[in-house]
Structure 1
Amino acid sequence: MTTPPQPPERYTQLKAVGLLIGGISSFQIGATLAKGLFPLFGPSGMVGLRVCLAALILLTIWRPLPGQLNKKTLMLLLPYGLSIAVMNFCFYIALVRLPLGIVVALEFTGPLTLALTGSRRVLDLCWASFVILGLYLLLRPESAAHGNLHSLDPVGIAAALLSGCGWIVYILTGTRIGRTLPAGLATTLGMSTAGIILLPCLIPTLPLIATHPWQGGAALSVAVLSSAVPYILDMMAMRRLKPRDLGILLSMEPMLGAISGLLFLGENLSSARWVGVLCIVTASAGNVLTSPRNTHH
């Protein structure tokens, strides 16, 4: 009897799922570590360290050659790198003011809105209503049970939503530049461009690194955990997973952000805000599962 080829394929898919979950988890752990360094470096200094160090790490792996760049690529590179800079800068500005789970959920509404834009299907209206409900539950002021009024910082909310807008630009420009350059090279150039843009954030941290080498090493760990490792694992996973499966797994990111904030930072959300995060996860997963665009490889 011949054995069917399913088990090796399933093993490959399970391995890819593990890689992707590992990448998402690594990013969240890096974010929790970065938040612990805010008292020394501040959010702007931390984002300068993370992006610039990540760019150096990627440049050691993928070394761009002058002949690989042309005028068309350079024209795409600036908005691509700028979107990376805006995403990371706004994410950290929000992270100093809001719990990690809420920041990730608010940021995630950017690509989710892009996915739902222009659709006229009834199902997509359903997913859009889940997004609206989730945002309402996340953003509404809450009177705490122990007499402590708890409302979210408006600057943090605006920064998280702006980070989501940066994510939209990142998707649109990254897709275009990915057609002209290999994925690794494109990301290296984009991260390097973002690093140049964020140099003013990096420079003030250099004396602090000299006097606090332990925290400097921790900042390097953030760059590895939040940029280098997730990107490498994501790229390995994307070679093995269909777009539909990839989208479903990425939908877990807001929930993993909330869990990471709870486990590593002690940031417990109210029941209503947990439901709000779950609504956004449901909208994202539902959109992927029911979208005809993702039914083909």
Structure 2
Amino acid sequence: MSDVPRAQRSASAASIGLVLGSVASVQVGASFAVLLFPAAGPIGTVTLRLVFSAVVLLLVCRPRLRGHSRSDWATVAAYGLALGGMNACYYEAIARIPQGAAVTLEVLGPLTLSVIAGRSLLSLVWAVLALAGVVTLSQGGFSSMDPVGVGFALGAAVLWAAYIVFAGRTGGRFQGIDGLALALAAGAVVSLPFGIASAGPALVVPPVLLLGLAVAVLSSAVPYALELLALRRLRSSTFSILMSLSPGAAALSGFLVLGQRLSVVEAVGIALVVAASIGAVLTARSSA
């Protein structure tokens, strides 16, 4: 009988590792995406991400199209719109306000979801601690920022919460990562006209295409697949708090890839978020 809880703990640890790998991949991809902004702009960059990610996953998993209900297709379409809109809002935000502040505001979505989905008082404690960390991590005050950029970041927060919900539902309706591939295809179809209108012929320049492919693999294909697999075993509340590591991962990626240094205040913020994430993991294990 003791082997069953042990297997459950191993599965939980593996799912946690998948989420952390997703966080790291997204932030490294974001560092590369910054290089695309001058040529393709935020919307053009999102379009390249979605198109390349959809093509890669469709070729890899070759999802089965028959045998699904209208409800299944509606769920996967909503999933695709949520992930496409989330990324579009995020890129529009970091085009106007600092990236650390944008990520801080965006994380409010998953944190709010963690409080709603949590089943104990400790869930609220870890959410508050993580929120304190991401706020500390942000540089400067929000009052001096471009309100449009702040609005886009908050929109990304709402869509991130929606993405978590629809990703979990999609994972239960489609085998493997079939639902993810179809959702990315839906998002790519919707974003393509906007990307062409925004970036024009820049989207087909070879260096832009190559960098767009790298961004797609790091920022979309790999992390979304890892998250979809993780959401099958993790609670939404635990997943949401683990995703609050994003500001810390962004700061680390900025330091390693872009040479950005951390201040003492930023380091304290990262420590608070890490503490909240560890607490969430321990709480999930103790209640399993």
TM normalised by structure 1 equals: 0.77
User: How far off its partner does 1:184 sit?
Assistant: 0.5
Q: Which letter maps to 2:156? A: S
Range moving further from structure 2, 187-196 or 12-21: 12-21
How far apart in 1 are the matches of 2:239 and 2:130? 20
2:33 is equivalent to residue 28 of structure 1: no
Give the CA RMSD over aligned residues.
3.8
Residue in 2 that maps onto 1:141: 141
2:226 is equivalent to residue 227 of structure 1: no
Number of equivalent positions: 283
How far apart in 2 are the matches of 1:15 and 1:81? 26
Q: Which letter maps to 2:28? A: I
How far apart in 2 are the matches of 1:174 and 1:34? 24
2:287 is equivalent to residue 295 of structure 1: yes
Q: Is the 8 A contact 1:22 1:230 kept in 2?
A: yes
Residue in 2 that maps onto 1:83: 82
Q: Deviations over 1:60-86 (max 9, x none)?
A: 112233313321112223322211111
Matches within 5 A, 1:181-192: 181-192=174-185
User: Secondary structure of 2:111's partner?
Assistant: helix
2:209 is equivalent to residue 216 of structure 1: yes
2:257 is equivalent to residue 258 of structure 1: no
User: How far off its partner does 1:222 sit?
Assistant: 0.8
How far apart in 2 are the matches of 1:246 and 1:113? 12
How far apart in 2 are the matches of 1:157 and 1:222? 24
User: Secondary structure of 2:173's partner?
Assistant: coil
Unaligned stretches of 5+ residues in structure 2: none
User: How far off its partner does 1:10 sit?
Assistant: 10
Residue in 2 that maps onto 1:60: 59
Name which one, 1 or 2, has greater alpha-carbon Rg: 1
How far apart in 2 are the matches of 1:12 and 1:192? 30
Match of 1:169 among 115, 140, 162: 162
Q: Is the 8 A contact 1:81 1:194 kept in 2?
A: yes
Residue in 2 that maps onto 1:147: none
Q: Which letter maps to 2:151? A: A
User: Secondary structure of 2:36's partner?
Assistant: helix
How far apart in 2 are the matches of 1:232 and 1:118? 22
Paired-residue identity, %: 36
Match of 1:271 among 246, 259, 264: 264
Distance 1:285 1:247, change over 3 A: farther
Q: Is the 8 A contact 2:19 2:242 kept in 1?
A: yes
Distance 1:85 1:184, change over 3 A: same
Distance 1:120 1:57, change over 3 A: closer
Q: Deviations over 1:84-126 (max 9, x none)?
A: 1111101111222344444333322211211112658543443
Range moving further from structure 2, 68-77 or 242-251: 242-251
How far apart in 2 are the matches of 1:151 and 1:274? 23
User: Secondary structure of 2:255's partner?
Assistant: helix
How far apart in 2 are the matches of 1:25 and 1:287? 19
Match of 1:207 among 178, 201, 204: 201
Range moving further from structure 2, 194-203 or 9-18: 9-18
Q: Is the 8 A contact 1:108 1:164 kept in 2?
A: yes
User: How far off its partner does 1:58 sit?
Assistant: 1.1
Q: Is the 8 A contact 1:109 1:131 kept in 2?
A: no
How far apart in 2 are the matches of 1:123 and 1:140? 30
How far apart in 2 are the matches of 1:132 and 1:246? 15
TM normalised by structure 2 equals: 0.79
User: How far off its partner does 1:151 sit?
Assistant: 4.5
Distance 1:83 1:245, change over 3 A: closer
Q: Which letter maps to 1:176? A: R
Q: Deviations over 1:154-187 (max 9, x none)?
A: 3333322221211111122222222221241111
Distance 1:156 1:247, change over 3 A: closer
How far apart in 2 are the matches of 1:282 and 1:104? 18
User: How far off its partner does 1:206 sit?
Assistant: 5.2
Q: Is the 8 A contact 2:83 2:187 kept in 1?
A: yes
How far apart in 1 are the matches of 2:15 and 2:127? 29
How far apart in 1 are the matches of 2:52 and 2:200? 12
User: How far off its partner does 1:41 sit?
Assistant: 0.5
Q: Is the 8 A contact 1:58 1:228 kept in 2?
A: yes
Unaligned stretches of 5+ residues in structure 1: 143-149
